[in-house]
Amino acid sequence: MQLTIERSALLKSLGHIQSVVERRTTIPILSNVRLDAHDGALGLNATDMDLEIAESVGGEVAQAGASTAPAHTLYDIVRKLPDGAQVELTLNGEADRLVLRSGRSRFNLACLPVEDFPVMSAGSYSHAFSLSAADLRGMIDRTRFAISTEETRYYLNGIHLHATTSDGVPVLRAVATDGHRLARVEVPLPEGAAGMPGIIVPRKAVAELRKLIDETGMDVAVSLSETKIRFAFDDSVLVSKLIDGTFPDYERVIPINNDKVVEVDCATLAKAVDRVSAISTEKSRAVKMTVEKGQITLSASSPDAGSAVEEIEASYDGPPIEIGFNSRYLLDILSQIEGDAVRLIMADASAPTILRDVADGSAVYVLMPMRV
């Protein structure tokens, strides 16, 4: 194998590849990236056995061939080379060393046999559809903050995607919850997604997918089976195993009898919550919200730091209500509101509160109250 490739193109692909590779693994080959040079391109492939990424980047291939090399080491070397550098990769005759040359630099990297590199079996995909990069980005951004990190409830460690109807209109819906807050967002159902099984996309796959979306303006081709999901971009393909579990019936968590509706400027509320929460204890992050006619009073106190109170204007004409929230959870939701105003729909101090973007009905957020 021998090829020459431009440093910035190689660095971009290695950046995607190395973030899939675990830094600590008991299987040495999983620390490596597979390199496959042929037909004027270099193919790169990495996996942790649950998630696989494959990329292709153009180069001058003098001799076709394949090898593997330590992913993080290769990325660090290329990252530290000067802008505009040309990188030459050569596999020596014994095939146990990859030689990297660039300018006056030369590196010998230990290789492992390419035959040992695992391949996630592709299998057949039962459903295939396309989503615009903007729709997929929006679904991820507006739900992933609510993904649970509690490993014992593994079925909450991802985003639940499924086809359903909303007011009689077919939609593709994404839901995430950690038991304290819930995020639900939907887009019109893409052609080909009807009848798809309900799936749970793992947190790591969501994070890697989000990075790839930022670099494309194209539609993303999505294929899925009962055990895997595949996302195809311009020069990248991401394949992930799905979480083998049943997502809970989230509809039961979304209250339907909340009758106290408050509308308030989202940025004003977020800044006030952020200021007041500076006084709350690090552990609870509790902020009390007192809603009265025409205003919201935010307050927090802690034995060590003291107390804080701030009043803001709000549109409300019902009986007074006092409710406590985890300020960080509340700010996470407010940061996803794209319009100017947010609507809070409440019942009482112990019932979950619904938050909605006044300008966009496609997203619903639910926040559990806390005692203060």
Question: DSSP secondary structure string, 177-199?
Answer: E-SSEEEEEEEEPPTT-TTPPPE
Per-residue pLDDT of the chain (372 residues; tens, 9 = 90+): 999 999 999 999 999 999 999 988 889 999 999 999 999 999 999 999 999 999 999 999 999 999 999 999 999 999 999 999 999 999 976 668 999 999 999 999 999 999 999 987 767 889 999 999 999 999 999 999 999 999 999 999 999 999 999 989 999 999 999 999 999 999 999 999 999 989 999 999 999 999 999 888 789 999 998 899 999 998 899 999 999 999 999 999 999 999 999 999 999 999 999 999 999 877 778 999 999 999 999 999 988 889 999 999 999 999 999 999 999 999 999 999 999 999 999 999 999 999 999 999 899 999 999 987
Note the pTM of the prediction, 2 decimals.
0.92
Do the bridges between strand 306-313 and strand 295-302 make them parallel or antiparallel, or are there none, so unpaired?
antiparallel
**Cα distance from N-terminal residue to C-terminal residue, the chain:** 66
Helix axes 133-141, 203-213, angle to 10 degrees: 140
Confirm if 14 and 74 have CB atoms less than 8 A apart: yes
Give the span between the Cα atoms of 175 and 363, in whole angstroms.
10
Q: Counting every residue, how long is the chain?
A: 372
Give the span between the Cα atoms of 53 and 48, in whole angstroms.
10
